[in-house]
Structure 1
Amino acid sequence: MSAPAAQADLAQAREASSPGDSIHETKHESIDNHVDDDDIDSLSPEQRAALEKSLKKKLDWQIVPLCLMLYLLSFLDRTNIGQARLNGLEQDLKMSKDGRDYRIALTILYVPYIIFEIPSNLVVKRFGPARWIPFLVVCWGLVSMLQGIVTSKVGLYINRAFLGTTEAGILPALALYLTFFYKREELGLRQALYFSGASLSGTFGGLLATAIGLIKRPLPGWGMIFLIEGLFTILFGIACLFILPNDISKLWWVTPQERKLAYARMAQPVTTRAPDAENGVVPDVAATAEKRVAAVADDASLEYTGKFVMREVMRTFTDPIVLLMAASGYAYATLLYSNAFFSPTIIKSLGIAKSTAESQLLSVPPTAAAFFVSITAAVLSDRYKWRWISIVVLILISIAGIGLAYGSKVASQRYGGIILLSCGTYSIPPLGISWMLNNTAGLYKRATAIALYIVFTNSGGITSTWLFYNNEAPRYSRGFLVNLCLNAGALVLVSVAELYMIWEGKQRKAGKRDHRVNKLRDQGWSDAKIREYLGDQHPEFEYML
């Protein structure tokens, strides 16, 4: 939200509003400093803590479940082709028996997906998330439904290309959307909760595919999977147009005091100068919450011109932290998509299932276990601010799972390895996304950084489609060994990123980055404007390790 809008909405906090109003509406009223029912500066620490707890609970109930469901549907509609394959997709569309045509269908989706991710995320603010996100959901739901009535492999290829185009913006948009409401140390758990939709999609997808396979139907089983899941996506997207809050001003059920606190929590840190008996000045002291919001409105008058946006985009592509995290995302996401697309086929090849329905049901426990591990890891990561160590532990779990799934000759042990690697690989990306968002600042840099990260992770999706060949069953040596090497590489990349942030933090504490601020202060820039302009390049910006 723009700073003037934030200032104006505080004055109108008592008014009910639709959650779908534009994030960039312009209002002209000012803050009423004399309204008692929205005063937060006079609260005791205990009262403020209680108020913030109440606010976060309301945020969690309004924002997180919707994001979880949206990403569950996104991942389900993108990867349910793995279940459709077990229900006769390749045979009915006369696709090659060696799996080549199937892999082409998987690959085609990611080409437009990667191309449109960054542009899509750059327009989230312009159109408003409460309009843009439901629009994307309805579009890909329609495309997913049409996937159920294709009659040839060429038709499937074309449909998958459109599916990639319409789904491209949803994950980066959701990741950015949460930063409108939560502080950076609160993002880990929330990112994990909505990203758990990826693991839950495997759970529900397997159960739904099994149920569809057992009922009478007008279309082939694989067609009904696409049709039913696509229809539900459309209906949920339409509902989100009315219930998804666009920004803080459009939250439901919050009191004026809670709304004001929500603004204060998200406002840039602002400092004020005060007189000193000896030197005439003292170091900056923290301003009150209300002054912080007002300072953003009055001082941080940056114009988001095309030149400024391009500067933020280029700043992203030259940030070593962003590049290291994105590259690590490619490495560990390859395993995630390998698991999502091929685990039903791999499980069937183990010989422990007697039918297609049993194979689909056996794909449920790995993703269900991954859900609980993901939430546990996120809770610990947020509570103790363990970003790097949490990711390292989860990568090691993934590596152990790969080793067991590939190295053992006992089918039940190999299945246990699939459960183990699922617990690791599904739990890493939400922490990776949070780590990226924690260590970037500035709306357009964050939007570009998270989109770039997801471009890399989806590139891992492309790689995964060419790793598991039918003629290599049941060992799938190529797929497991490549993923083993990539996850080892991810360990190195995240560790280099951690060491770089430690080094850069020391440089800032030593005053070696102060020239960035001094140059702008000499030009008469205010503290708030400098912070917004420099973002994570500001010397006082602290990395979360």
Structure 2
Amino acid sequence: MSLSLKVFPSLDKRLEEGPATTTDIESGASVHVDKATTDHIDKASERSYVRKLDIYLLPYLALMYFFNAVDRSNLGNAETDGLSKDLHFVGNEYSLLILLFYIPFGTLDLPLNILTKRFTAALVLPILMITWGSVSLLQCAAFNFGGLLVCRLVMGACEAGFFAGVVFYLTLFYSRGELGFRIAIVFGSALLAAAFSGLIAFGVFHINTTIPGWKYLMIIEGSLTLVFGVIAFFWLPASPQTAWFLNQDEKAAATARSLRDSSNKVSTKFNLKDCFQIWKDWKFALWCVIAFVYPVAFATTSNFLPQIVQRLGYSTVKTNLWTVAPNAVGFIVLLLVAKSSDYFRERTFHIIGSLITSLIGMIILITIDVLDHKGVAYFACFLMAAGAYIPSCLVQTWHNNNNLDENSRAATTGLLVGLGNFAGILSAATFRVEYAPKYIPTLITTCICNVIAIASVLILGLWMRAENRRRNEAIGTNLRAQDVSTSELSDGENSLKFRYFV
């Protein structure tokens, strides 16, 4: 049996009102566009719109996140150059430094992402970048553990919400079938940042001077962050409708695209109540479990890869150099998997495959003697880098694909990314000096988290597939997520034609 639009009386009324104009959208009112408009987007304008996003917006966001990752992870490189010795650390103060960073880094994601919806990413993201860049630069002036701790806590507060803000920001520009690969490009810059940080550390640590090389590292990387943070104020648009690099036809295409395969309304006004509308759903608890456990492998890999490689018995310079290749390979694998996920419009098993990959790498490091099997141990580092980063992109893409409300996407993304940032505490807390050089408790804990993530993702993905089948059987037709314009789904998941993006 066919599904009549009469079951959506509010939708029928909006269809009679006709399409919204770009002027309506720029006024700040939430709007709807009729189905005929979303089904007949000018193809040339759409191609031009996506091309301009990929040229003007996406690379700059990737560059911003590149410096976010560089400033956050350069502590690992600095440690290989004697940071702990120069600042007279005792006991587990280095691990404590990393652990405490994650407290503001996880706590403030939600409020900062709500502010991003309220004041736009064009304002919030540059402010955050300039602030953490300034503090990163000031790290070179620290002379003890307390001084560096203050810098890291402020950096954690400012870097919190940046990735969540970027993810939410991208949902305003790209369709659901494009989002995974674009988030991967931005997030993948973190892998390049790790490689870049290793290369620059390799060069800086060769400088013969009375000033420690790690201080030069902080000066160079913090200064570059400041410069690009200032430029971001003038570069980032608040929305597609206000983008300086788009013409009117491209802005119209942007609106129609969003309503066809992203949101049920565009440019909605900020509403705090709407931010939390899906939090009572049973699936939300499962999303929280997934969001907390999958990033543990990411935290273990990104924070401690230099120390893991150092276990192989190489010098400081070679250790930093040898961290480049695993992260470079990880970046390529990330893009390939994300592109495949978008192409097939499938998230579940792409995420599970990546979790299994990093899990195998960690099991290898647990079970072998790394000094006797250096080649195998180094290969395990490649597996960790290849698998640990992918879920950070696809999990965040997945839940946003199934959330059609802009306010709700902002808050939910902020919370889930924040929970993931808290996972870094778990990794740092188990990476203690007394566990060196194998760090078995850290690797076992991370493996357990991967197994929990695999099971949770599988449960959620299989339930979504079963629910899609049940709904299709109920209405007597075979619909997929991409078959229904999101502008028709005014009630979100409760709409009869809603199908989960699996």
Name the TM tier (shorter chain).
0.7 to 0.9
Q: 2:415 aligns with which of 447, 452, 455?
A: 452
Aligned-partner Cα distance in 1 for 2:147–2:56: 39
2:353 alignment counterpart: 393
1:427 alignment counterpart: 390
* Cα contact 2:161–2:418 (8 A) shared by 1: no
SS in structure 1 at match of 2:252: helix
Quick one: structure 1 residues 72 and 528, their matched pair in 2 at CA, closer, same or farther if it must change by over 3 Å?
A: closer
Deviations 1:383-440 (A, max 9, x none): 1112111111111111111122222221221111011111000122111111111111
Deviations 1:98-139 (A, max 9, x none): 4x1111111211111222111111111322211111111101
1:336 alignment counterpart: 298
Q: Which structure has the bigger radius of gyration? A: 1
* Cα contact 1:73–1:201 (8 A) shared by 2: yes
Count the aligned residue pairs.
470
Aligned-partner Cα distance in 1 for 2:205–2:112: 37
SS in structure 2 at match of 1:343: helix
Aligned-partner Cα distance in 2 for 1:317–1:208: 44
* Cα contact 1:209–1:225 (8 A) shared by 2: yes
Q: 1:324 aligns with which of 286, 304, 314?
A: 286
Task: Give the superposition deviation at 1:217.
Answer: 5.1
Aligned-partner Cα distance in 2 for 1:187–1:528: 15
The answer as to 2:324 corresponding to 1:364 is: yes
1:477 alignment counterpart: 440
Residue identity opposite 1:438 in structure 2: N
SS in structure 2 at match of 1:80: helix
1:403 alignment counterpart: 363
Q: 2:67 aligns with which of 55, 69, 73?
A: 73
1:64 alignment counterpart: 58
Task: Give the superposition deviation at 1:511.
Answer: 5.6
Q: 1:152 aligns with which of 125, 133, 144?
A: 144
Residue identity opposite 1:456 in structure 2: L
Residue identity opposite 1:540 in structure 2: K
Deviations 1:18-67 (A, max 9, x none): xxxxx97559xxx9xxxxxxxx9699x7x943432222111111221111
Task: Give the superposition deviation at 1:143.
Answer: 1.1
* Cα contact 2:175–2:261 (8 A) shared by 1: no
The answer as to 2:305 corresponding to 1:349 is: no
Aligned-partner Cα distance in 2 for 1:153–1:235: 28
* Cα contact 1:331–1:486 (8 A) shared by 2: yes
Give the stretch that moved more between structures: 222-231 or 134-143. Answer: 222-231
Residue identity opposite 1:52 in structure 2: E
The answer as to 2:207 corresponding to 1:215 is: yes
SS in structure 2 at match of 1:78: helix
SS in structure 2 at match of 1:465: helix
Task: Give the superposition deviation at 1:471.
Answer: 2.9
Quick one: structure 1 residues 77 and 319, their matched pair in 2 at CA, closer, same or farther if it must change by over 3 Å?
A: farther
Aligned-partner Cα distance in 2 for 1:203–1:468: 22
Deviations 1:438-472 (A, max 9, x none): 11121121111111111121111111102223333
Deviations 1:314-362 (A, max 9, x none): x3432333332332232221111111111111111211x2x20110001
1:274 alignment counterpart: none
| Structure-2-length-normalised TM-score | 0.86
List runs of 5+ in structure 1 lacking aligned partners. 12-22, 32-39, 271-291, 513-526
Alignment of 1:1-400 (within 5 A): 7=20, 9-10=22-23, 26=28, 48-96=42-90, 98=91, 100-216=92-208, 219-267=211-259, 304-305=270-271, 309-313=272-276, 315-351=277-313, 353=314, 355-400=315-360
SS in structure 1 at match of 2:181: helix
The answer as to 2:492 corresponding to 1:535 is: yes
Aligned-partner Cα distance in 1 for 2:20–2:210: 56
* Cα contact 1:145–1:226 (8 A) shared by 2: yes
SS in structure 1 at match of 2:174: coil
SS in structure 2 at match of 1:63: helix
SS in structure 2 at match of 1:182: coil
Quick one: structure 1 residues 128 and 218, their matched pair in 2 at CA, closer, same or farther if it must change by over 3 Å?
A: farther
2:482 alignment counterpart: none
Quick one: structure 1 residues 42 and 114, their matched pair in 2 at CA, closer, same or farther if it must change by over 3 Å?
A: closer
Residue identity opposite 1:340 in structure 2: S
Aligned-partner Cα distance in 1 for 2:192–2:93: 27
Aligned-partner Cα distance in 1 for 2:405–2:37: 26
Q: 2:451 aligns with which of 473, 488, 509?
A: 488
List runs of 5+ in structure 2 lacking aligned partners. 1-13, 476-484
Residue identity opposite 1:192 in structure 2: A
Aligned-partner Cα distance in 1 for 2:210–2:162: 32
Task: Give the superposition deviation at 1:505.
Answer: 3.0
Task: Give the superposition deviation at 1:140.
Answer: 0.7
Q: Greater helix percent: which structure?
A: 2
Quick one: structure 1 residues 234 and 119, their matched pair in 2 at CA, closer, same or farther if it must change by over 3 Å?
A: same
Aligned-partner Cα distance in 2 for 1:127–1:158: 28
Task: Give the superposition deviation at 1:304.
Answer: 4.7
Quick one: structure 1 residues 41 and 434, their matched pair in 2 at CA, closer, same or farther if it must change by over 3 Å?
A: closer
Structure showing greater relative contact order (alpha-carbon pairs closer than 8 Å, 6 or more residues apart): 2
Alignment of 1:511-522 (within 5 A): none
* Cα contact 2:259–2:487 (8 A) shared by 1: no
